[in-house]
A and B are shown apart, each in its own frame.
Chain A
Amino acid sequence: MKKVIALVLVLVLVAACASCGAPTGTTTTTPEAGQSAGQSAEETGGSASAEAQDGDIVLKYWITPAMANEADMQTPEEDWFIVQKIHEFEEANPGVKIDYTVITDDGSLPQMFKAAAMTNDCPDIINVWSGNTLFQLEDLVVDLTDLISKDTKDNMVGWDATTLAKDGQEKILAYPTSGNEINGFFYNKQILADCGLDYDKNPPADLDAFLKDLQTIKDKGYTPVYAADSGWSKGYLSVFAAYWQQISGKDRIVSDGGGEASFTDDEGFLQSFKIPADMYANGLMNADYASVASADDKAEFLIGKAAILAGGNGEASTIVDALGLENVGFIAPPSPADAQTKNAGIGGAGQALAISQTCENQDMAVKFLEFLASKEVHAELADHMSKLPLRTDVTAEELNIEAGSVYEQMYDAAQGYVFWVDNLLKPDVAAELMAMSAQVVIGQMTPEDLAKDLDGVAAAAE
């Protein structure tokens, strides 16, 4: 009897394992309202309209929260702006269905995409971070260089974030999307006025003037600049790295990261750390730069204790809500005297839309991405997301940006952005830079020591 029971148990177990090993069905399921918020990485999605009929072209599209704003997140997926646009495209193209899946954890999307590629179950279109995250998927996505329309290429910025330069060739791997970004210094007009400063009328002419102003602010009892590492080198990569770009330029940064040139000899690199390190050492920056939690990394500015915040346009709405539109301004990092590029802030497109190499209807996928990149839709998207447009033919007036406001200041600054330095470096070098930058800013490590460290990593990464 015991033998029989044992045999039955073994057979049941083997049958269960065999059925678990069977391939799963489609990645798409019928959407259910409000399921997207707060769930694990892969969400339910669906078709924006009726189920696909035989003969229809079906495109599978992975969407991330970069295409939805905070208001969207509170509503059912069917009401999301991007889903409405999918619906619009389907109506304009009968016989085309777009099955979307919302991936709430966009950080895990590259891993999920690689895993999907291994099981031959890739989506056709993915929304992915630009730069190195996109470039690591080079072998899985389509080279769009010859597929993008001239109008889109000529009237859009952000191609540096989606163009892979390798072995003397350049390949455009995705459309930049969602919106442009710009980072610099937000300022509290009331605090500056209390210190006798007015950056709307008289912004600092250069870095020296800026540092003098910071000392004035400090003497008045305010925290001059509030910046934070936030666990991902936010303060350096978003703002202070602009000095590296301003002094050395993009080509030198690429050469440093590739091992062809040396970080140790790169004055721009060294200055980009000496400037914030000196500010920190002289009490012109908050003492908790390296340790403040990311959730609190602008609290002091929002409650009016700090005069200036190192941050980006993605934080503008929170800042405006706290301090009032009339009390907030924005400037790009004021340049040192030896800068090649003056007063340029870090920016560029942080998001990209790529087409998988397994997509069977690449022409239709390109048509959909061209639709999203068109002036009308892109302007709506930028306005909806409260982001800066990537299309140069979308004006501030068309986005209802109030003249003289912080949004107009950011719009103007974004026209002359310099690209994220970590996206110009090899991933190993970028990772080392991100791990160590806070230590340099707070004086636990010298810029020269970091330069030597990065030279070693760059040489090993070759």
Chain B
Amino acid sequence: MKIKQSRMLRREKYQAWLSIAPTLILIIIMCGYPLIQTIATSFTQWNGIGDPNPVGLKNYIDILSGSQFYLLLKNNFVFLLFIPVQIVIGTMIAVFINDEVPGWKVYRVVYYIPQVISAVIVGYLFMVMFGYEGPVNLMLQGLGVIKESIGWLESGTTARIVVLICLVWVNIGWQSLLSLGGLASIPPSLYEAAKLDGAGYWKRLFKITFPMLGRTIEYSCIVSVMWVFTGIFPYIFALTGGGPGYETATIDYMIYLKSFSANSQYGYASALAVLLIIIVLIFTVIQLRVSDKQNSWEG
């Protein structure tokens, strides 16, 4: 019996490996090879012409000893602030849609529209909206909040606020969709039992709905953090161009600048990319460890 089981187990193992082999090979080729190439290039000085010139750790030393990298990192961290806003607003919208408030079918579509608009269009839209004679300044002047127009994109602080607002606006739809999926998995019997026990709407919301959405919110946080480090490039490019100066530039934006400028520095850009991978991995591991502890009551 034991020998038979062992053979069966081995056969299943081979079948399992063969089943995932095609995808695994594809991932290794499409992701693994460029990753190894990037790491190798990060130890060289290369402008894309001729052979790369090995320089050891010079690129890493230049990056970590300069002040620019820390400005880029700071900007990435600042843009993480959109995540809690996105989660709160997105989840509230999901709750209202789930409760089928009047007009919920329209809201379900309208809130998702920003997700399907091109990032370049969104960036341009926000540039116009927050322009000197844009609707935001006109509205604030009309309400008497300000006397003169604010140059929103002319100073680092206000430019970052505009980027944050843009990121929240873009992702509310995605967050609400995610949370709707999470809400659908909450057993209605919990709400019925809570109602029978006399729990009101808000108590049910904060004591049942939000805790039960723990895994959904955890997933949203992990993906959103990765997105801030790797996916907001088109919005920065279209909205601020990394400016004023480099006040809204992020690490991935600087990778683009260093790679595709008149003086391509692929080695330096590759080193930045490697550092970015390490930062994203660290964040992901921390989040997984923290959320595992928080949600350990789940089976």
Give A contacts to B, CB under 8 Å.
2-3, 6-7, 9-10, 12-14, 17, 108, 110-111, 114-115, 117-118, 132-133, 136-137, 139-140, 231, 287-288, 290-293, 296, 426-428, 430-431, 435-436, 438-439, 442, 444-445
Contact between chains at B48 and A111 (CB < 8 Å): yes
Interchain Cβ contacts under 8 Å between A and B, 7 examples? A3-B18, A6-B19, A111-B264, A136-B264, A140-B49, A293-B124, A431-B263
Q: A300 to chain B: closest CB distance in Å?
A: 10
Contact between chains at B127 and A293 (CB < 8 Å): yes
Which residues of B are found within 8 Å of A110, using beta-carbon distances?
Answer: 262
Q: A333 to chain B: closest CB distance in Å?
A: 24
Q: A42 to chain B: closest CB distance in Å?
A: 16
Which residues of B are found within 8 Å of A139, using beta-carbon distances?
Answer: 49-50
Indicate if B257 sits at the interface (CB-CB under 8 A).
Answer: yes
Contact between chains at A291 and B25 (CB < 8 Å): no
**A427 interface neighbour in B15, B19, B130, B261, Cβ under 8 Å:** B261
CB-defined interface of B39-73 with A at 8 Å, one 1/0 digit per residue?
00000000111100000000000000000000000
- Not counting A3-B18, A13-B22, A430-B262, a sample of 4 additional A-B residue pairs whose C-beta atoms are within 8 angstroms of each other reads A292-B132, A431-B257, A431-B263, A435-B242
The 9 residue pairs across chains A and B that have the minimum distance between CB atoms: A427-B263, A6-B18, A288-B132, A427-B262, A114-B48, A132-B262, A13-B22, A291-B153, A290-B154
| C-alpha gap A442/B159 in the complex (Å) | 15
Q: A299 to chain B: closest CB distance in Å?
A: 10
Which residues of A are found within 8 Å of B133, using beta-carbon distances?
Answer: 288
Q: B145 to chain A: closest CB distance in Å?
A: 18
| C-alpha gap A435/B68 in the complex (Å) | 13
Q: Residue on A with the closest CB to B21?
A: A10
Q: Residue on A with the closest CB to B156?
A: A444
Contact between chains at B153 and A290 (CB < 8 Å): yes
**A293 interface neighbour in B48, B131, B246, Cβ under 8 Å:** B131
Contact between chains at B15 and A2 (CB < 8 Å): yes
Q: Residue on B with the closest CB to A461?
A: B263
Q: A427 to chain B: closest CB distance in Å?
A: 3
Indicate if B244 sits at the interface (CB-CB under 8 A).
Answer: yes
| C-alpha gap A431/B246 in the complex (Å) | 11
Q: A445 to chain B: closest CB distance in Å?
A: 8
Contact between chains at B18 and A444 (CB < 8 Å): no
Q: A292 to chain B: closest CB distance in Å?
A: 7
| C-alpha gap A52/B49 in the complex (Å) | 31
Interface residue ranges of B145-190 to A (CB < 8 Å): 149, 151-155
Contact between chains at A14 and B25 (CB < 8 Å): yes
Which residues of A are found within 8 Å of B22, using beta-carbon distances?
Answer: 9-10, 12-13
Indicate if B109 sits at the interface (CB-CB under 8 A).
Answer: no
Interface residue ranges of B10-50 to A (CB < 8 Å): 14-15, 18-19, 21-22, 25-26, 29, 47-50
Q: A131 to chain B: closest CB distance in Å?
A: 8
Which residues of B are found within 8 Å of A435, using beta-carbon distances?
Answer: 242-243, 245-246
Q: Residue on B with the closest CB to A17?
A: B29
Q: A226 to chain B: closest CB distance in Å?
A: 12
Give B contacts to A, CB under 8 Å.
14-15, 18-19, 21-22, 25-26, 29, 47-50, 124, 127-128, 130-133, 149, 151-155, 241-246, 257, 260-264
Looking at A111, A137, A231, the one whose CB has the most chain B CB atoms below 10 A away is: A231
Q: A453 to chain B: closest CB distance in Å?
A: 9
Contact between chains at B132 and A287 (CB < 8 Å): yes
Contact between chains at A442 and B151 (CB < 8 Å): yes
Q: B167 to chain A: closest CB distance in Å?
A: 19
Contact between chains at B131 and A292 (CB < 8 Å): yes
**B244 interface neighbour in A2, A12, A439, Cβ under 8 Å:** A439
Contact between chains at B49 and A431 (CB < 8 Å): no
| C-alpha gap A436/B124 in the complex (Å) | 21
Contact between chains at A288 and B131 (CB < 8 Å): yes
Contact between chains at A442 and B131 (CB < 8 Å): no
| C-alpha gap A14/B264 in the complex (Å) | 34
Q: B157 to chain A: closest CB distance in Å?
A: 11
Q: Residue on B with the closest CB to A7?
A: B18
Which residues of A are found within 8 Å of B50, using beta-carbon distances?
Answer: 139
Q: B261 to chain A: closest CB distance in Å?
A: 6
Which residues of A are found within 8 Å of B128, using beta-carbon distances?
Answer: 293, 296
- Given contacts A6-B21, A290-B153, are A428 and B263 in contact (CB under 8 A)? yes
Contact between chains at A444 and B154 (CB < 8 Å): yes
**B263 interface neighbour in A140, A231, A287, A426, Cβ under 8 Å:** A426
Which residues of A are found within 8 Å of B127, using beta-carbon distances?
Answer: 291, 293
Which residues of B are found within 8 Å of A291, using beta-carbon distances?
Answer: 127, 130-132, 151-154
Contact between chains at A111 and B260 (CB < 8 Å): yes
Q: Residue on A with the closest CB to B263?
A: A427
Q: B5 to chain A: closest CB distance in Å?
A: 19
Which residues of A are found within 8 Å of B26, using beta-carbon distances?
Answer: 13, 17
- Given contacts A6-B18, A114-B49, A291-B152, are A444 and B244 in contact (CB under 8 A)? yes
Which residues of A are found within 8 Å of B149, using beta-carbon distances?
Answer: 287
Contact between chains at B244 and A136 (CB < 8 Å): no
Which residues of A are found within 8 Å of B130, using beta-carbon distances?
Answer: 291
Contact between chains at B132 and A3 (CB < 8 Å): no
Q: B267 to chain A: closest CB distance in Å?
A: 14
Which residues of B are found within 8 Å of A430, using beta-carbon distances?
Answer: 262
Contact between chains at B263 and A439 (CB < 8 Å): no
| C-alpha gap A118/B48 in the complex (Å) | 8
Q: Residue on B with the closest CB to A115?
A: B48
Which residues of A are found within 8 Å of B19, using beta-carbon distances?
Answer: 2, 6
Which residues of B are found within 8 Å of A111, using beta-carbon distances?
Answer: 48, 260, 264
